[in-house]
């Protein structure tokens, strides 16, 4: 950010734009401008106004630096400005909080967060989150010896939180001086809008890490990873932010676990209807999955993909695509029975 040699109290907005920049900072500029206008009126005398050296956005937080001695009232008012503005979106002024986006920490609401992530001029990975996590590959000490692959069956918006939790679990086992294999994760999935971790073997030393994971994901969108904004459905917390919900989900009816959320299939530009998830499954995987595909009728496409690619420890780490490839009809019937339960 550029430093201000002199903050002009007679032209606050221009001074703020010079300091913070005009692009993507209008939410904060408008909020600070309004509060400083009130501050100027209340303090009255120009000599009573604080001498501001610079104003910066630093890692998602607002910094207002002064020079010289300031009155107690002026310092309090500046502190109030910082505290109030930091709870709003930098770009639009909506309610927000600081969070990591790509290589930066910014304070953005879910709508501006997704807009920035999808900016083609920025080098983003599309979601600002991990795209892939195999627990057996990254944390072999937290799975059984015969587990070669374990993919969590959750949206990738939760993968960063899960990765941090697994690191804490691994450290907790080490610090407790327990032998390798004391804690063995069997599966990770979304259940009733919350993340659920299953175990082959469990030890109380990882309970705190798991509790932190549940708390973290309870405030995180399972699709895009935006923190602090989750849609509220009829049955409780819905695992998507307002932006992702408005783009993909119809919250009327269905459960709140993201698996039965309804998806509106738009027509393409040539008015040819977009095929449904079950139709695509049957087309690409063949008639063996016809009955299984029917169970996915009201599922969201992202959840269908997760289900197809998630490795099932009960089937020797194979996913649904592997079962079709192996023509394992007995295993496919077990999957169908599990879906119908």
The secondary structure of 220-256 as a DSSP string is B-TTT--BS---EETTEE-SS-HHHHHHHEE-SSS-S
Q: Hey, what are 138's tokens? A: 């990254």
Q: Do the Cβ atoms of 28 and 90 come closer than 8 Å?
A: yes
- Mean pLDDT of all residues belonging to the chain: 79
DSSP state of 249: E
Q: Percentage of residues in the chain with pLDDT exceeding 90? A: 23
The answer to whether residue 7 is domain-embedded is no
* Cα torsion 174, 178, 184, 188: sign: negative
One domain for residues 172 and 148: yes
Task: Report whether pLDDT(2) > 70.
Answer: no
The answer to whether residue 148 is domain-embedded is yes
The answer to whether residue 234 is domain-embedded is no
The answer to whether residue 169 is domain-embedded is yes
- The pLDDT value given to residue 251: 35
Give the model confidence (pLDDT) of 205-237 as tens digits. 999 999 999 988 888 888 888 887 776 655 455
Q: Hey, what are 141's tokens? A: 């000490």
Count up the domains in the chain and report the number. Answer: 3
The answer to whether residue 123 is domain-embedded is no
One domain for residues 108 and 146: no
In the chain the beta strands, taken as DSSP E runs, fall at 52-58, 61-66, 97-101, 104-108, 184-191, 194-201, 232-233, 236-237, 249-250, 262-263
One domain for residues 139 and 210: yes
Mean pLDDT of 158-168: 91
The answer to whether residue 255 is domain-embedded is no
One domain for residues 149 and 101: no
One domain for residues 104 and 147: no
The residue with tokens 């509106």 is 264
Of the listed ranges 35-44, 262-271, 290-299, the least confidently predicted one is: 262-271
One domain for residues 25 and 110: yes
Q: Do the Cβ atoms of 329 and 323 come closer than 8 Å?
A: no
The answer to whether residue 67 is domain-embedded is yes
- The pLDDT value given to residue 173: 94
Task: Report whether pLDDT(65) > 50.
Answer: yes
Confidence of residue 178 (pLDDT cuts 50, 70, 90): very high
Task: Report whether pLDDT(271) > 80.
Answer: no
The answer to whether residue 265 is domain-embedded is no
Task: Report whether pLDDT(302) > 80.
Answer: no
- The pLDDT value given to residue 82: 92
Q: Does the reported pTM lie above 0.95? A: no
Confidence of residue 257 (pLDDT cuts 50, 70, 90): very low
- The pLDDT value given to residue 1: 42
Helix (H, G, I), strand (E, B) or coil at 188: strand
Give the residue, 79 or 117, on which the prediction is more confident: 79
Mean pLDDT of 261-288: 58
- The pLDDT value given to residue 123: 47
One domain for residues 77 and 149: no
**Parent domain of 76:** 12-117
Give the model confidence (pLDDT) of 230-246 as tens digits. 766 554 556 788 888 77
Give the model confidence (pLDDT) of 83-135 as tens digits. 999 999 999 999 888 887 767 788 999 888 888 877 655 544 444 555 678 89
- The pLDDT value given to residue 184: 94
């Amino acid at each position: 950010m550029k430093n201000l040699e002199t903050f002009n109290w007679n032209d606050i907005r221009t001074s703020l734009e010079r300091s913070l920049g005009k692009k993507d900072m209008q939410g904060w500029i408008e909020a600070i401008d309004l509060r400083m206008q009130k501050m100027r009126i209340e303090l009255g005398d120009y000599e009573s106004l604080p001498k501001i050296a610079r104003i910066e956005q630093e890692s998602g937080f607002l910094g207002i630096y002064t020079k010289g001695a300031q009155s107690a009232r002026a310092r309090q008012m500046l502190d109030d400005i910082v505290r109030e503005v930091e709870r709003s979106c930098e770009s639009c002024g909506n309610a927000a909080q600081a969070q990591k986006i790509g290589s930066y920490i910014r304070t953005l609401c879910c709508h501006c967060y997704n807009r920035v992530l999808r900016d083609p001029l920025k080098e983003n990975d599309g979601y600002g989150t991990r795209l892939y996590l195999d627990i057996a590959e990254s944390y072999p000490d937290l799975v059984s010896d015969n587990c070669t692959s374990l993919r969590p069956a959750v949206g990738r918006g939760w993968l960063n939180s899960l990765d941090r939790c697994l690191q804490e679990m691994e450290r907790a086992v080490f610090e407790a001086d327990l032998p390798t294999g004391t804690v063995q994760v069997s599966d990770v999935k979304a259940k009733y809008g919350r993340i659920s971790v299953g175990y082959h073997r469990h030890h109380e030393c990882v309970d705190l890490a798991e509790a932190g994971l549940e708390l973290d994901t309870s405030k995180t969108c399972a699709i895009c990873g935006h923190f602090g904004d989750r849609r509220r459905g009829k049955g409780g917390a819905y695992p998507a932010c307002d932006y992702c919900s408005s783009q993909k989900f119809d919250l009327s009816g269905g459960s709140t676990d993201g698996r039965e959320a309804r998806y509106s299939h738009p027509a393409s530009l040539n008015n040819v209807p977009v095929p449904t998830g079950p139709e695509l499954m049957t087309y690409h995987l063949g008639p063996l999955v016809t009955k299984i595909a029917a169970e996915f009728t009201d599922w969201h496409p992202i959840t269908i993909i997760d289900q197809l690619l998630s490795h099932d420890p009960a089937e020797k780490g194979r996913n649904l695509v592997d079962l079709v490839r192996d023509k394992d009809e007995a295993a496919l019937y077990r999957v169908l029975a599990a879906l119908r339960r």
